[in-house]
């Protein structure tokens, strides 16, 4: 008898909570669940921070789940978001494959899914509403175009590649190579992997300088990310050369430290990979909820080029976001 | 006792391999041996090999002792990240160099102590015991740096990575210093013999009066200290602590250096200098590949190929077919365990 009473009381209490939840959901405030990869880099932390700030701006209730670099955690997070009945799910997918079944569950629950920063591989593109990413090939192109313009299309470039086989490394090389192919005076004289890290970027640059006649044969270094460029700058300095003058430095990402280097005249240009992936996603979602118009399948973020003139102000603006 | 085992034939594969790799680099890049002074510091590809090889050489020195006790320390890469994170964060907070160095080394010492206690007192297998810190350590480093690359501008700390002493880069000076101190500790006292005894048979050496827990804890602590010095060097070199990447996978390079140096993973006899030579072989290959202009896709294959040859030259089965000078012992041979008197380690002067 008493047990039955407890159960019914509990059920009543639960119903009350669910009811409260329903009241809140009816309050027009959009609830977005965001399954973030983790915080493996400064850029990633900035992406999370910006997602929060942009949500606040638009009055969106953002729930973030940190997957600690594991897909299984992301799948769990998506299931729990579906169970909570959120209005939309954002995923920054840690890997490209293996999403079909969990995305089907979200689709059956009629919850739109937006991919942030990376694409997935699936046979059924209706499983997600849109993907907000940058075009990494385009980033390479922007860097190459700047260098071609700056040097009048005549430049012996050394290239610091990202991790061998990673998609940003492949694409950033591809975009840059396109521009090199268009300018007969431009040539990549050395290319090696610096694993996207400062330490390796420095080590590889040291060897490049020695291999190219003490750096005299090098007009510019193109690094697939800013961290390698920062390492390369140190290597150039230790070889008795002036980074930014004797050897031009151009890289991609737009992290605060490269703006600092540019302000000090040691780097020349960076192409920003904006950490604001969530902003355009919110806007697409709000428009979709308002008039049911589905956004395009791919929302490309801007790959803006930054040069030393604005570096100081940009550094001040960014240093707290990262 | 000598720094390494007697007889030139035993060391031939290591020194020979280093020479061959250096010569190959010279063939690929004729200016390989060219050295000049740049801002009061030696500058050249050969110097790069020594300078860039320093962190792995330091790890290998500590790792040699651990492996000689039939253990292994997988956590050294993570310990590097921790010590670097401590150094950069404290420097950023305005602490002076002595306090920063003391704290970083203390962090390495604590990590070593943790590993040593797990292995010596709780008797967890070394590969598992140190795996714990390998995984957790990087997380600890990330907590310290709050997931960012913490940069600093202090010239005092940067000197450890980029400075020089009598034109020799500081990382090389520090490695020589640590090697000399380690060699003195293990070869001028009975400690080396006790380490070998523990590695050959822990039970019998305990029965013979060796205080095995103390010996084991001591080698893991020393290994942690070596890793902390290596961590300081890489942090000072890039003027920033990169908790995600500092020392990543270097534990494997260190183990490789020790094995290339001819120390058996089964414990027992060890050669400190040879382990450093092993580290230099690995780095000479890395530098050679960078100078050669090969596509980066080939890096790992070239490296693996050369290493295979070096290890084959040491294979007990294959060395049987090689001519051996009179009196030289085969590679696998170990000394009969000698029972030293149960003196406290590091007491100095007590020779068996």
Cβ count near A29 (within 10 Å): 11
Task: Using the predicted structure, report yes or no on whether residue B329 has a pLDDT greater than 70.
Answer: no
Task: Give how far A71 is from chain B: nearest CA, Å.
Answer: 18
CA distance linking residue A28 with residue B143, whole number of Å: 38
> Buried b / exposed e across A298-313, counting CB within 10 Å, b at 16+?
ebebebebbebeebee
What is the model's pLDDT at position B18? 93
In a domain? residue B22 = no
Residue A173 sits at the chain B interface (C-beta within 8 Å)? no
In chain A, % of residues over pLDDT 70? 92
Residue B45 sits at the chain A interface (C-beta within 8 Å)? yes
What is the model's pLDDT at position B335? 46
Cβ count near A319 (within 10 Å): 13
Is residue A160 within 8 A of residue A205, CB to CB? The reply is yes
pLDDT digits (tens, 9 = 90+) for B243-294: 989 999 999 999 999 999 999 999 999 999 999 999 999 999 999 999 988 8
Is residue A278 within 8 A of residue A47, CB to CB? The reply is yes
In a domain? residue B250 = yes
Task: Using the predicted structure, report yes or no on whether residue A4 has a pLDDT greater than 90.
Answer: no
Higher pLDDT, B9 or B58: B58
Adjacent-strand bridge partners of A221: A158, A249
Q: To the nearest whole number, what is the mean pLDDT of chain A? A: 90
Residue B38 sits at the chain A interface (C-beta within 8 Å)? yes
pLDDT digits (tens, 9 = 90+) for A275-317: 999 999 999 999 999 888 889 999 999 999 999 999 999 998 8
Listing DSSP states for B32-100 in one string gives TT--EEETTEEESHHHHHHHHHHHHHHHHHHHHHHHHTT---TTHHHHHHHHHHHHHHHHHTT--HHHH
Asked whether the beta carbons of residue A164 and residue B29 sit closer than 8 angstroms, the reply is no
pLDDT digits (tens, 9 = 90+) for A27-76: 578 999 999 988 777 788 889 999 999 999 999 999 999 998 889 999 99
Based on its alpha-carbon atoms, the radius of gyration of chain A, rounded to whole angstroms, reads 24
Higher pLDDT, A132 or B330: A132
CA distances from B257 to A19, A303, B47, B248, B263 (A): 65, 44, 19, 16, 9
Counted domains in chain B? 1
In 3-state terms, what secondary structure has residue B305?
helix
| Chain B from 153 to 172: CB within 8 A of any A CB | 162
Domain borders along chain A are 26-133+275-291, 136-273+307-318
Beta strand B240-242 pairing with B149-151: antiparallel
Residue of B nearest to A231 (CA): B238
CA distance linking residue A41 with residue A322, whole number of Å: 9
Pick left, alpha or beta for residue A215 (phi over 0 → left; psi -120 to 50 → alpha; otherwise beta): left
Cβ count near A7 (within 10 Å): 10
CA distance linking residue B183 with residue B300, whole number of Å: 32
CA distance linking residue B191 with residue B208, whole number of Å: 14
Is residue A112 within 8 A of residue A81, CB to CB? The reply is no
Structural domain of B107: 50-313
Residue A209 sits at the chain B interface (C-beta within 8 Å)? no
Residue A239 sits at the chain B interface (C-beta within 8 Å)? yes
Of A230, A239, A257, which is closest to B38 when you measure between CB atoms?
A239
In a domain? residue B199 = yes
Residue of A nearest to B162 (CA): A238
Beta strand A269-272 pairing with A305-306: antiparallel
Report residue A270 as tokens.
């960076």
In 3-state terms, what secondary structure has residue B158?
helix
pLDDT digits (tens, 9 = 90+) for A225-277: 999 999 999 999 999 999 999 999 999 999 999 999 999 999 999 999 999 99
CA distances from A182 to A176, A178, B74 (A): 10, 7, 49
List the one residue out of B53, B61, B62, B73 whose CA is nearest residue B282: B53
What is the model's pLDDT at position A12? 55
In 3-state terms, what secondary structure has residue A189?
strand
What is the model's pLDDT at position B6? 47
Sort out which chain B residues have CB atoms less than 8 A from A227's CB and list them. Answer: 149, 242
What is the model's pLDDT at position A282? 95
pLDDT digits (tens, 9 = 90+) for A125-182: 999 999 999 999 999 999 999 999 999 999 999 999 998 888 889 999 999 999 999 9
Asked whether the beta carbons of residue B149 and residue A227 sit closer than 8 angstroms, the reply is yes
| Chain A from 256 to 275: CB within 8 A of any B CB | 257
Question: Domain A26-133+275-291: which topology?
Answer: Rossmann fold (3.40.50)
Residue of B nearest to A42 (CA): B148
Q: Give the total residue count for chain B.
A: 352
CATH number at residue B252: 1.10.3470
In a domain? residue B33 = no
Question: Domain A136-273+307-318: which topology?
Answer: Rossmann fold (3.40.50)
């Amino acid at each position: 008898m008493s047990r039955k009473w407890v159960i019914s009381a509990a059920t009543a209490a639960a119903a009350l909570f669910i009811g409260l939840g329903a009241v809140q959901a009816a309050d027009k405030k959009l609830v977005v669940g965001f399954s973030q990869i983790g915080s493996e880099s400064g850029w990633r932390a900035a992406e999370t921070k910006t997602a929060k700030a942009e949500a606040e701006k638009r009055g969106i209730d953002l729930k973030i789940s940190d997957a600690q670099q594991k897909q299984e955690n992301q799948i769990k997070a998506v299931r729990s978001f579906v169970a909570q009945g959120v209005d939309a799910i954002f995923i920054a997918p840690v890997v490209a494959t293996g999403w079909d079944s969990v995305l089907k569950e979200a689709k059956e629950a009629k919850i739109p899914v937006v991919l942030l920063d990376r694409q997935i591989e699936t046979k059924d593109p209706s499983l997600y509403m849109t993907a907000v990413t940058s075009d990494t090939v385009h980033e390479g192109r922007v860097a190459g175009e700047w260098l071609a313009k700056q040097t009048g299309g005549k430049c012996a470039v050394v290239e610091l590649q990202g991790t061998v086989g990673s998609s940003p490394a492949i694409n950033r090389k591809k975009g840059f190579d396109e521009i090199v192919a268009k300018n007969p005076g431009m040539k990549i004289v050395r290319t090696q992997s610096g694993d996207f890290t400062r330490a390796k970027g420095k080590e590889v640059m040291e060897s490049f300088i020695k291999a190219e006649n003490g750096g005299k044969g090098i007009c510019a270094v193109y690094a697939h990310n800013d961290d390698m460029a920062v390492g390369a700058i140190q290597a150039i300095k230790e070889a008795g050369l002036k980074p930014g003058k004797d050897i031009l430095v151009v890289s991609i990402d737009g992290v605060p430290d490269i703006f600092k280097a540019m302000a000090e005249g040691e780097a020349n240009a960076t192409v920003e990979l904006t950490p604001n992936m969530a902003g355009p996603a919110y806007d697409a979602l709000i428009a979709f909820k308002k008039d049911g118009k589905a956004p395009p399948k791919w929302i490309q973020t801007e790959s803006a080029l930054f040069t030393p003139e604005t570096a100081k102000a940009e550094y001040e603006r960014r240093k707290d976001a990262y | 006792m000598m720094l390494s085992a007697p007889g030139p034939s035993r060391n031939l594969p290591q020194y020979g391999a280093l020479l061959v790799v250096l010569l190959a680099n010279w063939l690929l890049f004729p200016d390989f041996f060219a050295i000049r002074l740049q801002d009061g510091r030696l500058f050249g590809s050969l110097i790069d090999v020594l300078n860039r090889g320093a962190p792995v050489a330091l790890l290998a020195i500590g790792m040699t002792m651990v492996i000689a006790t039939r253990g292994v320390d997988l956590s050294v890469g993570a310990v590097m990240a921790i010590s670097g994170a401590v150094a950069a964060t404290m420097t950023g907070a305005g602490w002076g160099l002595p306090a920063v160095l003391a704290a970083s080394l203390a962090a390495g010492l604590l990590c070593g102590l943790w590993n040593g206690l797990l292995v010596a007192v709780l008797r967890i297998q070394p590969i598992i015991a140190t795996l714990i810190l390998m995984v957790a350590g990087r997380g600890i480093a990330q907590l310290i740096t709050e997931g960012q690359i913490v940069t600093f501008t202090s010239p005092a700390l940067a000197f450890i990575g980029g400075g020089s002493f009598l034109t020799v880069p500081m990382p090389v000076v520090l490695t020589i210093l640590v090697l000399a101190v380690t060699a003195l500790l293990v070869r001028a006292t009975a400690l080396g013999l006790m380490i070998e005894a523990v590695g050959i048979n822990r039970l019998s050496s305990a029965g013979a009066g060796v205080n095995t827990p103390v010996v084991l804890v001591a080698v893991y602590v020393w290994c942690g200290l070596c890793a902390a010095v290596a961590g300081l060097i890489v942090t000072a070199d890039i003027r920033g602590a990169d908790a995600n990447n500092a020392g990543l996978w270097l534990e494997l390079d260190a183990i490789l250096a020790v094995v290339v140096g001819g120390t058996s993973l089964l414990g027992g006899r060890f050669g400190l200098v040879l382990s450093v030579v092993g580290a230099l072989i690995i780095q000479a290959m890395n530098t050679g590949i960078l100078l050669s202009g090969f596509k980066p896709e080939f890096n790992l294959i070239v490296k693996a190929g050369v290493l295979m040859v070096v290890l084959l030259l040491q294979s007990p089965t294959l060395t049987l077919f090689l001519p051996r000078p009179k009196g030289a012992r085969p590679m696998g041979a170990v000394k009969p365990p000698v029972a030293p008197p149960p003196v406290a380690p590091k007491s100095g002067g007590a020779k068996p």
